[in-house]
C-alpha cells in the first residue's frame, strides 16, 4: 500500500480539484434553473393581468425582473463568471469581425475632395477589394501618376508625400482604437455578459457577444458613431442633498404617493441638520444596521476626506444603483436638471474590489464633442506628467472660453455615450480653444482620453467583414445533441472494452469517467470555452483515451504468454507500452497546437479540448489504471484480460 | 475475447496489391476533383448564409420559387436538420446594383407609412447602405427608432444633437428575410443561424488552412525523425499525405451522392483533417515502435520478415484502437447533429484509410527504401 500512497493522493487531489473547479458550473446551472422558473411564473402573471400585451413588452419587463434578481444577489454573477463557459455556437450569440473602412476615412479627412479625388478614391477602393494593397498607398500612387501632390488634399503644403502617407496610416490606426473604445463602452453599457473585444492586425476588431438574442440590437452597438459631451459636475452640497433624498426614499422614510414629496423631504432635511453627520457616519452603528437605515449610502460610499461629493460604488453594486435610480419614486426626488453617471472604468481598487466613481452632473451638456478637432496625448516636458492637448474649432472655442470663464474652480465631466472618462477642474478661462488636461496617472490613460475626445467628432467608419450569428434555439439543440452523443459514445466504448477485456476493460471504462471529469474541470479552470466542436473533441477523446489501455492490455497479454507472473507481466506491459503511447499522443498533440494557433472560435475550442483530453487520458491510463492494477496484484485479486 | 491472434500473413509480399488499391482510390477521387471540383462552404468561398426554422414543415422547392425572382440571382437552398429547417445561401457579398432602386423604394414606402409626406432625401447610396437627409433632429431620432422597430437596420450618422442624417443598412440577409416573410405569412420562421463572410476573409482562411495542414505534417516529420530514423518519419508522413488526399478525393466523389450528408469543406472539416493527421499517425507509430523494438532484438533478421512479424503482432491493437475511435465517431456521425456531420464523416473515413495506410503503406515504403538503396536499417 505504501508505494501506492503518493499516487493515490495525486489522483484524489486531481479529482477534488476538478470537482472544485466544476462546482460553480453546477451552482450556475441551479441559479439559471431557478431564475427561469421565476420568469416563467412572472410571464404567466403578466399575461394574465394584461392579455393584450405584446410579446416584446413582456420580454422587456421580464428582462428587468431578471436584472433585478441578479442585482440583488451578486453570488449569481460570481458563479457565472467561474463556471464553464459555453461558446457562441452553444449558447447562441454573435461574432463579428469589423474592419476600418480606410476609403471612407480618407474621404472624410480630405480637405477639399474634388471630382478627381473622388474618382481616384473609387478606383483605389475597387483595386483594394481584390488585393492586399493598402488604400492609402494606392491613392498616393494614383495621385502621383496624375501629377498631383498629396498635400493638395491632406496635411499642409510643406509636408512631402511620405510624411503625409505615414500620418494617414496613423489616422487609420487611430480610427481602430476609437472604434474599439466606442464599442467597448457601448457593449459595457448594454450589459452583454462576458463580451470579448480584441484587435486583430492593424485594421480589424473582433467582437464576440454571447447570448445576444436580437442581432439587430447588437449591430446598433457596433456602429462607429458616439456622443461626446462636456457636462458640469454639480456642487458637493447639492449632490449630497440629492443623495440624502434618495437614501430616505430607499429606506422608506418618506412616503412618495402624494404631491407633498418635495416639501416632506425638505422638511426632513431641515429638521435634523446637526444629526446629518452622525447618521452618515458608519462608525456609530453596525454595518447591517447602517445598510438598513441608509441603503443608498451603504453602497454609494462617500469619501469623508474628499472635497467632492463623488460616491464610490463597488463594481457588483453598479447595476443595483442603476436600478434604484430608475425607480419612479427615486426619480421623483431627483431634480430635473441633474443625473448620476458612472466612471467608464473602475477607479479605485480596495481589498480586491473594483470601485466605480459616481458623479452627479448637469443633464444638459455645455458643449458636445463635434467641436473637438484634435486631441493628442503627450508627456509635458516641464512637469514630466502625462497631458492631453485638446483643440477646438473656432465656433467651439468661443463657447469654451465662455463656459470655462464662468466656471473656474468647477469640474467639467467628459462624458462619452453616458459614462465619464475624466472630470478635470477648470483652472481658468481658456480662450482660443486650446486646452490642456492633466492629472492622468500614466501615458496610457492620457492616450485613452485623447481617443475619447476625438470619438465625438471624427468618424471611425467600420465595415462588418465577417459575421456569424447562432440563435439560442439552435444552440440548445446542439447542446442536447452533444450531451446525448457524449453519453452514448461513452456507453458504446465502455461496453466494448468491458466485453473485450472483461475486468481490465471495466477498469478502462471507469477511468474514462475520470478522463471526462478532468477535461471538464480543466476547461473550467483554464477559463476556456466549450464549443460544439469542443464537445466533438470530448467524444473523440473518449474513443482515443482507451487506445492507451488497449496498447497496455495487449502488451500484458503478450507478456503473460511468455510465461511471466501476473505481477511481472503488468510491470513490463505498462513499461513497454509507454514509448508507443507517448509517441502517438505527442503527434496528435502537435496537430492540436497548430490547430489552436490557426483556428478561430469554435475550432480553437476543439483543439483545446483535444489537447486537454490527451493529457487527461494519459493520466487516467498511466496513473489511475496503473494504481488499480497494482492494488489488485498486491491483494491477489484476479485480473482477467478476456 | 481475442481477434487477429497469431496471424502469420505475408503482408509485405502483397504490397503491390495495396499500391494498386491506393492508386485506384486516389485516381477515382482526384479525377472527380478535377471534373466536378471541390465544394467549399461559406467559410472559404465567402458570401451570406442564413438558416431559417419554420413553424411547420416546408418544401424547399416552394421556397425556391419564392426567392427566384427577388433579384439575388441564384440562391442555393437546401434542408437543414429536419423538415422545418431551410438553409439559404448566396455567394453575393452585397446587393446587386440593379436591386438598389427597389430596396430604396421599399425603404421610402416604409418611411411614408410612418410619416406620410415627410421630406426624406436620399443623399448617398452604396451597395450596403442608404443615407437620408431629414428636415430636423427630432424627426431623425424618431424615424431612426420607428424604422428600426419596423425591422430596418437604422442608425444616426452622428450622435450630435443637431444630427439630421439617417443611415439605413441594407444587407442580403435582410432583403431575403423581408421578401420571404411576406410570401410565407402562414408559416412564420425564425432565423437560427446567420453567417456572412467577406471575400478577403475567405481567402485568408483558405491560406491559413493550407499552412496549418503543411505545418502539422512538418511537425510530425520532425518529431518522428527525432524519435525514429528519418526514413520512418518519411514513410509515416507519406502515408499521412495518402490519407488526406484519398479523403479529399472521397469528398469530391461522394458530394451530393448520399442524401442528407452535406459534404462541403468548411473550417470544422479542416479541423477534422488536422485531427486526422495527428491521429492516423498513431497506428503507424504502434507498428514502427514494434519494428524498432524487434530491430534491436533480432539484429540479423531479414527486414521484410521482421516488418511482417511486427505488423502481425500489432495487428490486433491497431484494429482495436482504430475501432474504439470509429465507434465514438460513428455515434457523433449519427447523433451529433447537422452542424457536425461533415466533420464526423471526415474523421470516420479518415480513420479507416489512416489505419489501412499505417499497416500497408507506411511500412512498405520503409522496406522499399531499404531495398532500393541496399541500406541496413538499424537502431
B155, B170, B185 - which closes a domain: B170
Distance from the B71 Cα atom to the nearest Cα atom in chain A, whole angstroms:
22
A462-470 vs A386-392, strand pairing mode:
unpaired
Cell numbers found for residue B278: 495527428
Distance from the B360 Cα atom to the nearest Cα atom in chain A, whole angstroms:
18
Q: Which residue has the higher pLDDT, A19 or A168?
A: A19
A196-200 vs B129-133, strand pairing mode:
unpaired
**Phi/psi-derived region of residue B256, left when phi > 0, alpha when psi is between -120 and 50, beta in every other case:** left
**Phi/psi-derived region of residue A613, left when phi > 0, alpha when psi is between -120 and 50, beta in every other case:** alpha
DSSP state of A568: H
Rounded CA-CA distance B347/B358 in Å is 16
Q: Where are the domains of chain A?
A: 2-83, 95-224, 230-455, 471-635
List Cβ neighbours of A421 (8 Å cut-off, separation of 6 or more).
Answer: A343, A344, A414, A415, A448, A449, A452
Answer yes or no: do A590 and B267 touch at CB < 8 A: no
**Do residues A434 and A389 lie in contact, with contact meaning Cβ atoms separated by under 8 Å?**
yes
- Taking contacts as CB-CB distances below 8 angstroms, the residues of chain A near B205 are 600
Answer yes or no: do A536 and B332 touch at CB < 8 A: yes
CATH number for A471-635: choose from 1.10.3720.10, 1.20.1640.10, 3.40.50.1470, 3.30.565.10. 1.20.1640.10
Question: Based on the domain organization, do B81 and B225 belong to the same domain?
Answer: no
Amino acid A279: pLDDT? 45
Best to test chain A binding among B144, B159, B280, B296 (most A CBs inside 10 Å): B159
Question: Based on the domain organization, do B260 and B119 belong to the same domain?
Answer: no
Confidence of residue A275 (pLDDT cuts 50, 70, 90): very low
Answer yes or no: do A220 and B148 touch at CB < 8 A: yes
Is some CB atom of chain B closer than 8 A to the CB atom of A597? yes
**Do residues A101 and B127 lie in contact, with contact meaning Cβ atoms separated by under 8 Å?**
no
Question: Based on the domain organization, do B29 and B54 belong to the same domain?
Answer: no
pTM, to two decimals = 0.79
Question: Based on the domain organization, do B256 and B227 belong to the same domain?
Answer: yes
**CA closest to A477 among chain B residues:** B337
Answer yes or no: do A536 and B200 touch at CB < 8 A: no
- Taking contacts as CB-CB distances below 8 angstroms, the residues of chain B near A533 are 268, 271, 340, 343
Residue B7 is assigned to a structural domain of this protein: no
- List Cβ<8 Å contacts ≥24 apart for A345-349: A346/A315, A347/A312, A348/A312
- Taking contacts as CB-CB distances below 8 angstroms, the residues of chain B near A483 are none
Answer yes or no: do B191 and A468 touch at CB < 8 A: no
Answer yes or no: do A466 and B313 touch at CB < 8 A: no
Angle at A563 (CA atoms; ends A557, A566), nearest 5 degrees? 60
Whether residue A380 is predicted with pLDDT greater than 90 in this model: the reply is no
- Taking contacts as CB-CB distances below 8 angstroms, the residues of chain B near A600 are 205, 267
Please give the radius of gyration of chain B, using alpha carbons only, rounded to the nearest integer.
29
Question: Based on the domain organization, do B33 and B181 belong to the same domain?
Answer: no
Q: Kindly give the parts of chain B with pLDDT less than 50.
A: none
**Do residues B377 and B242 lie in contact, with contact meaning Cβ atoms separated by under 8 Å?**
no
Residue B3 is assigned to a structural domain of this protein: no
If one counts the domains in chain B, the total is 3
Amino acid A170: pLDDT? 83
**Do residues A440 and A387 lie in contact, with contact meaning Cβ atoms separated by under 8 Å?**
yes
Residue B158 is assigned to a structural domain of this protein: yes
DSSP codes of every residue in A65-86: HHHHHHHH-HHHHHHHHHSPEE
Is some CB atom of chain B closer than 8 A to the CB atom of A223? yes
Helix (H, G, I), strand (E, B), or coil: what is residue A419? strand
Amino acid A459: pLDDT? 67
Distance from the B301 Cα atom to the nearest Cα atom in chain A, whole angstroms:
21
**CA closest to B323 among chain A residues:** A543
In sequence order, the β-bridge partners of residue A377 are A388
Answer yes or no: do A547 and B282 touch at CB < 8 A: yes
Scan residues 481-540 of A and list those with Cβ closer than 8 Å to B.
Answer: 481-482, 484-485, 488-489, 492-493, 496-497, 499-501, 532-533, 536, 539-540
Amino acid B196: pLDDT? 85
Inter-axis angle of helices A161-190 and A102-109, nearest 10: 110
Residue B69 is assigned to a structural domain of this protein: yes
Whether residue A512 is predicted with pLDDT greater than 90 in this model: the reply is yes
Answer yes or no: do A590 and B223 touch at CB < 8 A: yes
Is some CB atom of chain B closer than 8 A to the CB atom of A572? no
Distance from the B351 Cα atom to the nearest Cα atom in chain A, whole angstroms:
11
What b/e sequence results for B340-377 when a residue is b if at least 16 CB atoms lie within 10 Å of its CB, and e otherwise?
Answer: bbbbbbbbbbbbbbbbbbbbbbbbbbbbebbeeeeeeb
Q: What is the 3-state secondary structure (H, E, C) of chain B?
A: CCCCCCCCCCCHHHHHHHHHHHHHHHHHHHHHHHHHCCCECHHHHCEEEEEEEECCCCCHHHHHHHHCCCCCCCCEEEECCCCCEEEEEECCCCCCHHHHHHHHHHHHHHHHHHCCCCCCEEEEECCCEEEEECCCHHHHHHHHHHHHHCCCEEEECCCCCCCCEEEEECCHHHHHHHHHHHHCCCCCEEEEEEEEECHHHHHHHHHHHHHHHHHHHHHHHHHHHHHCCHHHHHHHHHHHHHHHHHHHHHHHHHCCCCCCCCCCECHHHHHHHHHHHHHHHHHHHHHHHHHHHHHHHCCCCCHHHHHHHHHHHHHHHHHHHHHHHHHHHHHHHHHCCHHHHHHHHHHHHHHHHHHHHHHHHHHHHHHHHHHHHCCCCCC
Answer yes or no: do B1 and A499 touch at CB < 8 A: yes
Whether residue A417 is predicted with pLDDT greater than 70 in this model: the reply is yes
Distance from the A471 Cα atom to the nearest Cα atom in chain B, whole angstroms:
4
Write out pLDDT tens, residues A78-94. Answer: 888 888 888 888 888 88
Sole residue written with cell 479529399: B248
Answer yes or no: do B282 and A216 touch at CB < 8 A: no
Mean pLDDT of chain A: 84
Q: Which residue has the higher pLDDT, A475 or A510?
A: A510
Q: Where residue B186 sits, what CATH number does that domain have?
A: 3.30.70.3400
Confidence of residue A48 (pLDDT cuts 50, 70, 90): confident
Write out pLDDT tens, residues A219-232. Answer: 767 776 788 899 99
Helix (H, G, I), strand (E, B), or coil: what is residue A448? helix
Rounded CA-CA distance B72/B93 in Å is 11
Q: Where residue B164 sits, what CATH number does that domain have?
A: 3.90.1070
Amino acid A359: pLDDT? 92
Residue B268 is assigned to a structural domain of this protein: yes
A–B interface: beta-carbon pairs under 8 A: 238
Residue B1 is assigned to a structural domain of this protein: no
Answer yes or no: do A586 and B223 touch at CB < 8 A: yes
Of residues A481, A497, A594, nearest to B215 (C-beta): A594
- Taking contacts as CB-CB distances below 8 angstroms, the residues of chain A near B216 are 590-591, 594-595
Answer yes or no: do A539 and B157 touch at CB < 8 A: no
Residue B36 is assigned to a structural domain of this protein: yes
Q: Where residue B332 sits, what CATH number does that domain have?
A: 1.20.1640.10
Question: Based on the domain organization, do B225 and B352 belong to the same domain?
Answer: yes
- Taking contacts as CB-CB distances below 8 angstroms, the residues of chain A near B160 are 227, 368-370, 456
Of residues B200, B208, B286, nearest to A584 (C-beta): B286
Is some CB atom of chain B closer than 8 A to the CB atom of A468? yes
Angle at A395 (CA atoms; ends A392, A396), nearest 5 degrees? 40
Distance from the B274 Cα atom to the nearest Cα atom in chain A, whole angstroms:
6
DSSP state of A367: E
Is some CB atom of chain B closer than 8 A to the CB atom of A129? yes
Of residues A489, A544, A550, nearest to B320 (C-beta): A550
Of residues A129, A489, A588, nearest to B332 (C-beta): A489
Answer yes or no: do B286 and A456 touch at CB < 8 A: no
Question: Based on the domain organization, do B152 and B187 belong to the same domain?
Answer: no
DSSP state of A307: S
Rounded CA-CA distance A125/A110 in Å is 15
Answer yes or no: do A492 and B275 touch at CB < 8 A: no
**Do residues A225 and B159 lie in contact, with contact meaning Cβ atoms separated by under 8 Å?**
yes
Q: Which residue has the higher pLDDT, A573 or A158?
A: A573
DSSP state of A233: B
Best to test chain A binding among B272, B331, B345, B355 (most A CBs inside 10 Å): B331
Provide the residue range defining the domain that includes B137: 97-170
Out of A455-464, A561-570, B215-224, B298-307, which region has the weakest mean confidence (pLDDT)? A455-464
Answer yes or no: do A466 and B344 touch at CB < 8 A: no
- Taking contacts as CB-CB distances below 8 angstroms, the residues of chain B near A544 are 279, 282, 321, 324-325, 328
- Taking contacts as CB-CB distances below 8 angstroms, the residues of chain B near A540 are 275, 325, 328-329, 332, 347
Residue B272 is assigned to a structural domain of this protein: yes
Whether residue A259 is predicted with pLDDT greater than 70 in this model: the reply is no
Question: Based on the domain organization, do B75 and B143 belong to the same domain?
Answer: no
Whether residue A639 is predicted with pLDDT greater than 50 in this model: the reply is yes
Amino acid A507: pLDDT? 93
Write out pLDDT tens, residues A176-202. Answer: 888 888 888 878 777 777 788 888 877
**CA closest to A549 among chain B residues:** B321
**CA closest to B219 among chain A residues:** A590
Question: Based on the domain organization, do B141 and B180 belong to the same domain?
Answer: no
**Do residues A437 and A424 lie in contact, with contact meaning Cβ atoms separated by under 8 Å?**
yes
Confidence of residue A500 (pLDDT cuts 50, 70, 90): very high
Cell numbers found for residue A582: 507517448
Amino acid A285: pLDDT? 64
**Do residues A17 and A521 lie in contact, with contact meaning Cβ atoms separated by under 8 Å?**
yes
- Taking contacts as CB-CB distances below 8 angstroms, the residues of chain A near B194 are 215, 467-469
Work out the number of other CB atoms within 10 angstroms of the CB of residue B34: 9
- Taking contacts as CB-CB distances below 8 angstroms, the residues of chain B near A497 are 324
Question: Based on the domain organization, do B115 and B237 belong to the same domain?
Answer: no
Question: Based on the domain organization, do B242 and B347 belong to the same domain?
Answer: yes
Best to test chain B binding among A100, A542, A547, A548 (most B CBs inside 10 Å): A547
**Do residues A90 and A478 lie in contact, with contact meaning Cβ atoms separated by under 8 Å?**
yes
- Taking contacts as CB-CB distances below 8 angstroms, the residues of chain A near B328 are 489, 492-493, 539-540, 542-544
Amino acid A281: pLDDT? 52
Confidence of residue A273 (pLDDT cuts 50, 70, 90): very low
Angle at B256 (CA atoms; ends B62, B83), nearest 5 degrees? 40
B126, B155, B170 - which closes a domain: B170
Question: Based on the domain organization, do B35 and B108 belong to the same domain?
Answer: no
Answer yes or no: do A587 and B195 touch at CB < 8 A: no
Write out pLDDT tens, residues A289-332. Answer: 787 788 888 888 888 777 788 888 888 788 888 888 888 888 88
DSSP state of A621: I
Of residues B153, B208, B317, nearest to A551 (C-beta): B317
Helix (H, G, I), strand (E, B), or coil: what is residue A576? helix
Q: Which of B341, B211, B282, B272 is nearest to A607 (CA)?
A: B272
Amino acid at each position: 500500500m505504501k508505494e501506492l500512497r503518493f499516487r493515490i493522493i495525486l489522483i484524489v487531489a486531481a479529482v477534488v480539484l476538478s470537482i472544485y473547479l466544476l462546482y460553480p458550473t453546477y451552482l450556475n446551472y441551479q441559479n439559471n434553473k431557478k431564475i427561469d422558473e421565476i420568469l416563467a411564473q412572472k410571464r404567466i402573471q403578466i399575461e394574465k393581468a394584461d392579455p393584450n400585451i405584446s410579446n416584446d413588452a413582456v420580454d422587456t419587463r421580464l428582462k428587468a425582473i431578471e436584472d433585478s434578481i441578479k442585482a440583488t444577489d451578486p453570488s449569481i454573477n460570481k458563479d457565472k463568471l467561474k463556471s464553464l463557459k459555453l461558446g457562441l455556437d452553444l449558447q447562441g450569440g454573435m461574432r463579428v469581425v469589423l474592419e476600418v473602412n480606410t476609403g471612407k476615412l480618407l474621404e472624410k479627412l480630405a480637405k477639399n475632395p474634388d471630382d478627381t479625388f473622388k474618382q481616384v478614391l473609387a478606383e483605389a477602393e475597387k483595386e483594394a477589394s481584390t488585393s492586399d494593397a493598402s488604400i492609402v498607398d494606392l491613392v498616393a500612387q494614383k495621385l502621383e501618376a496624375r501629377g498631383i501632390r498629396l498635400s493638395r488634399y491632406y496635411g499642409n503644403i510643406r509636408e512631402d508625400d511620405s510624411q503625409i502617407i505615414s500620418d494617414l496610416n496613423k489616422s487609420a490606426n487611430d480610427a481602430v482604437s476609437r472604434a474599439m473604445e466606442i464599442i467597448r463602452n457601448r457593449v459595457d453599457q448594454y450589459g452583454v455578459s462576458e463580451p470579448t473585444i480584441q484587435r486583430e492586425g492593424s485594421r480589424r476588431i473582433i467582437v464576440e457577444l454571447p447570448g445576444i438574442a436580437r442581432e439587430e440590437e447588437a449591430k446598433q452597438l457596433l456602429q462607429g458613431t458616439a456622443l461626446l459631451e462636456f457636462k458640469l459636475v454639480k456642487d458637493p452640497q447639492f449632490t449630497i442633498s440629492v443623495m440624502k433624498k434618495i437614501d430616505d426614499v430607499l429606506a422608506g422614510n418618506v412616503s412618495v404617493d402624494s404631491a407633498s414629496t418635495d416639501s416632506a423631504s425638505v422638511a426632513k432635511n431641515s429638521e435634523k441638520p446637526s444629526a446629518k453627520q452622525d447618521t452618515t457616519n458608519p462608525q456609530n452603528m453596525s454595518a447591517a444596521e447602517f445598510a438598513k437605515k441608509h441603503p443608498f449610502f451603504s453602497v454609494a460610499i462617500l469619501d469623508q476626506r474628499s472635497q467632492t461629493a463623488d460616491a464610490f460604488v463597488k463594481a457588483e453594486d453598479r447595476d443595483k444603483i442603476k436600478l434604484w435610480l430608475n425607480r419612479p419614486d427615486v426619480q421623483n426626488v431627483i431634480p430635473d436638471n441633474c443625473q448620476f453617471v458612472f466612471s467608464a472604468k473602475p477607479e479605485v481598487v480596495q481589498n480586491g474590489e473594483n470601485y466605480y466613481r459616481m458623479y452627479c452632473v448637469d443633464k444638459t451638456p455645455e458643449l458636445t464633442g463635434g467641436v473637438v478637432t484634435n486631441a493628442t496625448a503627450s508627456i509635458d516636458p516641464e512637469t514630466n506628467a502625462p497631458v492631453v492637448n485638446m483643440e477646438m474649432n473656432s465656433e467651439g472655442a468661443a463657447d469654451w472660453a465662455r463656459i470655462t470663464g464662468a466656471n473656474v474652480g468647477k469640474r467639467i465631466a467628459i462624458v462619452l455615450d453616458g459614462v465619464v472618462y475624466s472630470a478635470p477642474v477648470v483652472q481658468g478661462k481658456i480662450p482660443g480653444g486650446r486646452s490642456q488636461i492633466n492629472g492622468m496617472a500614466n501615458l496610457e490613460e492620457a492616450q485613452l482620453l485623447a481617443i475619447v475626445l476625438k470619438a465625438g467628432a471624427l468618424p471611425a467608419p467600420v465595415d462588418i467583414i465577417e459575421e456569424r450569428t447562432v440563435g439560442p434555439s439552435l444552440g440548445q439543440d446542439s447542446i442536447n445533441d452533444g450531451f446525448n452523443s457524449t453519453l452514448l459514445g461513452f456507453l458504446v466504448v465502455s461496453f466494448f472494452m468491458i466485453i473485450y477485456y472483461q475486468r481490465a476493460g471495466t477498469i478502462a471504462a471507469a477511468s474514462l469517467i475520470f478522463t471526462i471529469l478532468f477535461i471538464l474541470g480543466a476547461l473550467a479552470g483554464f477559463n476556456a470555452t466549450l464549443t460544439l466542436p469542443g464537445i466533438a473533441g470530448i467524444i473523440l477523446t473518449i474513443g482515443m483515451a482507451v487506445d492507451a489501455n488497449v496498447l497496455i492490455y495487449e502488451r500484458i497479454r503478450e507478456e503473460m504468454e511468455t510465461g511471466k507472473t501476473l505481477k511481472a507481466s503488468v510491470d513490463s506491459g505498462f513499461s513497454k507500452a509507454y514509448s508507443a503511447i507517448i509517441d502517438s499522443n505527442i503527434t496528435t498533440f502537435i496537430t492540436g497546437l497548430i490547430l489552436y494557433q490557426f483556428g478561430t472560435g469554435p475550432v480553437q475550442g476543439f483543439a483545446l479540448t483535444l489537447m486537454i483530453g490527451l493529457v487527461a487520458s494519459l493520466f487516467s491510463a498511466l496513473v489511475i489504471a496503473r494504481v488499480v492494477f497494482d492494488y489488485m496484484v498486491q491483494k491477489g485479486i484476479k485480473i482477467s484480460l478476456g | 475475447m481475442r481477434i487477429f491472434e497469431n496471424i502469420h500473413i505475408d503482408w509485405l509480399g502483397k504490397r503491390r496489391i495495396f499500391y494498386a488499391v491506393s492508386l485506384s482510390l486516389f485516381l477515382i477521387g482526384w479525377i472527380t476533383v478535377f471534373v466536378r471540383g471541390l465544394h467549399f462552404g461559406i467559410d472559404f468561398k465567402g458570401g451570406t448564409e442564413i438558416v431559417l426554422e419554420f413553424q411547420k414543415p416546408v418544401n424547399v422547392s416552394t421556397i425556391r420559387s419564392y426567392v427566384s425572382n427577388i433579384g439575388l440571382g441564384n440562391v442555393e437552398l437546401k434542408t437543414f436538420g429536419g423538415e422545418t429547417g431551410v438553409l439559404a445561401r448566396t455567394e453575393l457579398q452585397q446587393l446587386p446594383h440593379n436591386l438598389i432602386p427597389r430596396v430604396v423604394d421599399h425603404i421610402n414606402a416604409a418611411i411614408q407609412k410612418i410619416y406620410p409626406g415627410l421630406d426624406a432625401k436620399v443623399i448617398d447610396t452604396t451597395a450596403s447602405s442608404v443615407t437620408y437627409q431629414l428636415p430636423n433632429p427630432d424627426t431623425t431620432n424618431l424615424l431612426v427608432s420607428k424604422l428600426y422597430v419596423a425591422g430596418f437596420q437604422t442608425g444616426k450618422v452622428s450622435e450630435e444633437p443637431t444630427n439630421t442624417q439617417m443611415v439605413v443598412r441594407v444587407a442580403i440577409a435582410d432583403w431575403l428575410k423581408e421578401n420571404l416573410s411576406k410570401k410565407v405569412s402562414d408559416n412564420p420562421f425564425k432565423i437560427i443561424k446567420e453567417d456572412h463572410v467577406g471575400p478577403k476573409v475567405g481567402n485568408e482562411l483558405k491560406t491559413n488552412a493550407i499552412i496549418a495542414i503543411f505545418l502539422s505534417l512538418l511537425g510530425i516529420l520532425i518529431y518522428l525523425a527525432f524519435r525514429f530514423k528519418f526514413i520512418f518519419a518519411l514513410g509515416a508522413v507519406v502515408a499521412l499525405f495518402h490519407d488526406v488526399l484519398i479523403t479529399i478525393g472521397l469528398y469530391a466523389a461522394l458530394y451530393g451522392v448520399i442524401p442528407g450528408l452535406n459534404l462541403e469543406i468548411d473550417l470544422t472539416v479542416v479541423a477534422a483533417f488536422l485531427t486526422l493527421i495527428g491521429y492516423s499517425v498513431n497506428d503507424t507509430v504502434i507498428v514502427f515502435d514494434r519494428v524498432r523494438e524487434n530491430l534491436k532484438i533480432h539484429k540479423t533478421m531479414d527486414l521484410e520478415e521482421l516488418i511482417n512479424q511486427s505488423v502481425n503482432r500489432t495487428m490486433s491493437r491497431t484494429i482495436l484502437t482504430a475501432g474504439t475511435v470509429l465507434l465514438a465517431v460513428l455515434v457523433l456521425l449519427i447523433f451529433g447533429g447537422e452542424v457536425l456531420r461533415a466533420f464526423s464523416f471526415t474523421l470516420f473515413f479518415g480513420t479507416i484509410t489512416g489505419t489501412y495506410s499505417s499497416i500497408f503503406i507506411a511500412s512498405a515504403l520503409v522496406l522499399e527504401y531499404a531495398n532500393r538503396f541496399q541500406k541496413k536499417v538499424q537502431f
